[in-house]
Amino acid sequence: MNYDEAKIKFVSTWGSLGSLWGINKAMAQIQALLFISTKPLSMEDIMEDLQISRGNTSMNLRQLMDWGIVTKEIIPGERKEYFTTEKDVQELARVIAKERSRREIQPVIKVLKEVSSIKDDGTEATKELIKQTKALHDLTETADDMINKLVNQKQNWITKSLLKLIK
């Protein structure tokens, strides 16, 4: 397998994996492309490489910036905008986990809390609904806490680094 084959394989695999972290194919592929690029890429570069339209590229780059994993890079003397992605896999994982928690897990926790808090009317069905949604609520919250622990761990790491600089 040479460079071009490997690159195509990586980008398309990462793209089809998009569903795992809740984003679409083009979005995941753009991120993958930037992830292995040695320099910032322009919209033109991305369109050409992935063979997708300008509109698609623009919209998905915006979403990636919303997620906080892609940033605009201004290159002096250049009219075009250039883009780069977070290159540290650990940080990438943290951002993705945090965003998924905020966008998808938190709303579910809210509903589970509401549902598990209904008044117990004494029927077996209500008791079961309360019991099971409560169990699900606790589980989901625990899982989410674990994610937040990881995020905060990063926070600590940054804090430590900053403290070292100050000292």
| Binding stretches for DNA (CB under 7 A) | 24-27, 42-44, 51-56, 58-62, 78-81
Strand partners, 82: 42, 73
Q: Does 44 bind its own copies (CB under 8 A)?
A: no
Per partner kind, with CB cut-offs from 5 to 8 A, the member of its own copies, DNA, none near residue 166 is none
CA–CA distance, 22 with 120 (Å, rounded to integer): 36
Q: Does 83 bind its own copies (CB under 8 A)?
A: no
Closer CB to its own copies, 18 or 167, in the complex: 18
Helix axes 89-100, 124-166, angle to 10 degrees: 140
DSSP-derived letter for residue 1 is -
Residue 11 near residue 29 (C-beta atoms within 8 A): yes
Nearest approach in angstroms of CB 58 to DNA is: 4
Burial class (CB in 10 A: 0-12, 13-18, 19+), 103: exposed
The contact set with its own copies (CB under 8 A) reads 1-3, 6-7, 9-10, 13-14, 17, 19-20, 22, 35-38, 87, 89-90, 93, 100, 104-105, 108, 111-112, 114-115, 118, 121, 123-126, 128-129, 132-133, 135-136, 138-139, 143
